[in-house]
Amino acid sequence: MSPREIRLSTTPSPEALAELQLGDIVYLDGLMYTAREGVYKRALEDKANIPMELPAESATNFHCSPAARINADGTFTMGAVTATASFRFAKWLPEWLEKSGAKLVIGKGGMSSKDYKAYFVPNGAIYLSTVGYGTGALLGRGVESVEAVHWNEELGLAQAMWVIKCNRMGPFIVASDIEGRCLFERENERISQNLERIYEGTRPATLKRFGETDDKSDELIG
């Protein structure tokens, strides 16, 4: 069975968000911005003024650094775009979602259902995962234009806030729904049922490590 494909605005209505189910494939239209640790630190810890009207201009935060350059004439060349792992930003996301009004967070690997329930659901936000990883060239084709690059001098190209106009940009996968259910945890649970069998005929290491777990349903994130 092929997954369902849906076209969505980067400033989606609550109704459109409520429609989305785990595992749906989404293509986006509208403005999105990249923000990761550099932007979060500057906006939330250093209290710098966010150089965009959020969420009026965009309600979509992409955890991404593009393979891109700023040309000598001030124009931009954007090649491939791929997400970076989001769990590392859990420290800043609750405050960011509240402040920015972001409804879509796009990244790699998702967050835990605990995170979704704690601050995605109250803000009416969901998580979209990139596919692959990295369908960088496909996503690059969905970039109609680069509208601006903010904080490039302060943060460098990789951490700057890139504002991207998307035209059917995707594919993305719905990894959390409006009630905070988590696609990756659902899949982990299914896979875990097989793990005891696969570990038969192996033995734990003679020399242990501090903090080591033998519970294979544990995850590295969070």
Partner 1 sequence: MISIDLIQKTAEILMDKAAIEIPDDYLTGLKAASAVEDGDLSSFVLKAMLENYEVAKQDRRAMCGDTGTPRWYIKMGNETQVEGGPIALEAALRRATANATNGVPLRPNRVHPLWRTDHDNNVGIGAPEIEYGYEPGGEWIDLITVHKGGLFGTDYRMLFPSDGIQGIKRFYLDSLISFGKRGLACQPAIIGIGLGGCKDTCMVLGKRAACLRTVGDRNSDPRIAELELELKELGNSIGMGAMGFVGKSMVIDAHIEVGYCHTGGMQMSVHAFCLSSRRAVARVFPDGRVEYRTDPDWFTDYQRRETVEWELPAVAAE
- Listed ranges 13-21, 44-52, 97-105, 134-142: which one lies at the site for partner 1 (CB under 8 A): 134-142
- Binding residue (CB under 8 A) for partner 1 from 60, 119, 164, 171: 171
Closest CA to 167 of 14, 18, 29, 43: 29
Part in contact with partner 1 (CB under 8 A); list of ranges 43-51, 96-104, 105-113, 114-122: 105-113
Smallest distance from partner 1 to CB 134, Å? 3
Q: What is the distance between the alpha carbons of residues 41 and 43, in angstroms, rounded to a whole number?
A: 6
Is residue 167 helix, strand or coil?
strand
Q: Which stretch binds partner 1 (CB under 8 A): 7-15, 42-50, 96-104, 107-115?
A: 107-115
Q: Quick check: 82 binds partner 1 (CB under 8 A)?
A: yes
Residue 41 CA to residue 47 CA, distance in Å, equals 8
Residue 108 in contact with partner 1, rule: CB under 8 A = yes
Interface with partner 1 in residues 4-23 (CB under 8 A): 23
* Least gap, CB of 81 to partner 1 (angstroms): 4
The one-letter amino acid at 132: G
Kindly report whether the peptide bond that precedes residue 55 is cis, defined as omega within 30 degrees of 0: yes
Residue number with CB closer to partner 1 (99 or 186): 186
Under the binding rule (CB under 8 A), the answer on residue 180 touching partner 1 is: no
Output the six-digit token pair for 194.
């097989």
CA dist list (Å): 28 to 15, 70, 84, 183: 16, 24, 18, 20
d(CA 31, CA 104): 12
CB-based contact 106:129 (threshold 8 Å):
yes
* Contacting positions for partner 1 (CB under 8 A): 1-3, 23, 25, 38, 64-69, 77, 79-85, 108-110, 129, 131-141, 156-159, 171, 173, 184, 187-188, 190-191, 194-195, 198-199, 201-207, 216, 219-221
